Structure 1
Amino acid sequence: MRLLRSTDLALRVLMRLAVACDSTPTTREVAADMDVPYTHAAKVVAELQHLGLLAARRGRGGGLTLTEKGRTASVGAVVRAFEGDGDVVDCEGATPCPLNSACRLRGALRRAQEAFFASLDPLTVAELVTEPTGPLLLGISGRA
């Protein structure tokens, strides 16, 4: 399964903030650390804030912090939130599939997608940054 870029970035932002210790990096700093455009990072940060996974403060002394909900969030739940729960294939699109009424593939792909999400459910954001990942993230940012 291939993740959307926004999903990948969301997970990396959460991981980066999970090792931020006492610092509160800005969206611009996180974008630079992750080597992604600021506009992409800003959209992802806004969605993560909407989900309650991070807090963002503007102005002097502002920055991003991971909330407790963000620290204990299930990776599967984060992936579901960004990927959506739509079908893997679009059988009803502009040119509907002629097999739609008797297709077994759609159901099999749906089960595979759910198994993918379910395999990520037990894993939390905090667990993603245990050794050796956390120290590596600290080294990449240089500001954490």
Structure 2
Amino acid sequence: MKLSTKGRYGLRAMIDLAVYSEKEPVSIQSIADRQNISERYLEQLMASLKKEGLVKSIRGANGGYQLARPAIGISVGDILRALEGDLRAVTCPANGEEGNGGCENADLCVTRYVWQRINEGITHAVDTMYLNQLVEESKKLKEKGQVQPAGCQG
């Protein structure tokens, strides 16, 4: 599985939002400047995140974006699914992952267990990491003077 820029940039934007929006809404421009992401692209990402109930927008002169719920309640999986959709690395009809068609070789196919385990591993990893944990990691790096560069691809 390879994440697109939507997932990578969206996760960075959500971490930024969690760090800076505790007291007041954060503007798209300020996130874009700190994360070196185009404002136009960031607006598209925020629209998807808002649609999924992860962020809320505040209108007005001091408007911007805030998390729609506490960072402790937003998993990395929530964010990535909102931006990327399905996170499965491989779909297998024998595991009921491609509609109702099934697979004529399901009883003989051993590889389906490989795909199932890979998908379960991805799901477990992203659904057990929360935004508040990433914020804490970000704070630790800042304290050590190891700030992630804005152009970092991670």
TM-score range, shorter chain: 0.7 to 0.9
Structure 1 residue 128 and structure 2 residue 134: aligned? yes
Structure-2 separation of matches of 1:126 and 1:86: 21
Aligned to 1:46: 47
Question: How high is the sequence identity, in percent, across the aligned residues?
Answer: 27
Structure-1 separation of matches of 2:34 and 2:74: 22
Note if contact 1:13-1:30 (Cα within 8 Å) is conserved in structure 2: yes
Normalising by structure 2, what TM-score? Answer: 0.68
Aligned to 2:6: 6
Change (3 A) 1:86 1:123: closer
Which consecutive segments of 4 or more residues in structure 1 shift more than 6 A?
none
For these two proteins, the number of residue pairs brought into alignment is 131
Structure 1: which amino acid aligns with 2:16? R
- 1:108 counterpart (107, 114, 124): 114
Q: Deviations over 1:78-109 (max 9, x none)?
A: 22332222754589xxxxxxxx8657656633
Structure-1 separation of matches of 2:50 and 2:136: 23
Q: CA RMSD in A?
A: 2.9
Normalising by structure 1, what TM-score? Answer: 0.72
Deviation at 1:66, TM superposition (A): 1.4
Q: Higher relative contact order by CA 8 Å / sep ≥ 6: 1 or 2?
A: 1
Change (3 A) 1:35 1:48: same
Structure 2 stretches of 5 or more lacking a match?
93-102, 149-154
